[in-house]
Amino acid sequence: METDTRAAVNDGNVPKLRALLDAGTNLDLKDEDERTPLHWACAIGRLEVAEFLLEHAKSSVNVQDDSGWTPLMSAASAGHGDIVGLLLSKGADANLANENGQIPLHYHRGRQEIAELLLDYTRNANQADNVGSTPLTRALGGKPSPGNTPLHLAITEGYEGIARFLLENGANPNAKNLDGERCTDLAKPAFRAEIQVLKEKKKGSEHP
């Protein structure tokens, strides 16, 4: 019956899943990698299937596969923000780590919408994995970069949306890395001008 279940999940066929459930099929059964149908649905972006599995099949929202991956990690890694939001609303634990010491926030891959959703539920946004990468350093290049702040990395990798988010939340644009480069030194001219505007705006709000 696993083949029928997998096909229904892949096709987004909720009526078929309902029929399987009514026939006594266990829709929380694990495959050879210890992934459940909920893992599959979250990985391929089947929102309605995920909703059905959580509401009617009573699928475990925090189930981990043989590598420690949860459905929340699968959804975040694949960029499905709607499913990330659903899982969090159903009690998904944003602080569960996999075998590599990575939490769901490690898998936001530069997507600001997903990062912001997860940040609301993550106890330590600077949690390092087994090789020392924090969620932000992983998203912005995958390796720890001594001396570079998250803002340095965001600007260097061209993630201007995340750079704005960091600046608006107190990141220092004048911080220097080990080469003596400020964050602003690494920005493209147009974005450097925008950083200056943000700095002036912040200065104005601090000194009305």
Q: Which domain holds residue 201?
A: 145-208
Tell me the CB-side half-sphere exposure of residue 179, using CA atoms within 13 A: 9
* Amino acid at the residue 38: L
Those residues with Cβ within 8 angstroms of residue 164's Cβ, 6 or more apart along the chain or in another chain? 194, 198
Q: Are 162 and 183 in contact (CB under 8 A)?
A: no
In a domain, 196, yes or no: yes
pLDDT in tens, the chain (208 residues): 578 999 999 999 999 999 999 999 999 999 999 999 999 999 999 999 999 999 998 889 999 999 999 999 999 999 999 999 999 999 999 999 999 999 998 888 778 789 889 988 988 877 878 877 777 777 666 555 667 777 888 888 788 888 887 887 778 888 888 888 999 999 999 999 998 888 787 776 665 5
CATH of the domain at 149: 1.25.40.20
In a domain, 199, yes or no: yes
Q: Are 133 and 143 in contact (CB under 8 A)?
A: yes
- The structure's pTM equals 0.75
Q: What is the pLDDT of residue 124?
A: 82
How many domains in the chain? 1
Q: Are 133 and 106 in contact (CB under 8 A)?
A: yes
SS (H, E, C) 18-64: HHHHHCCCCCCCCCCCCCCHHHHHHHHCCHHHHHHHHHCCCCCCCCC
Tell me the CB-side half-sphere exposure of residue 164, using CA atoms within 13 A: 11
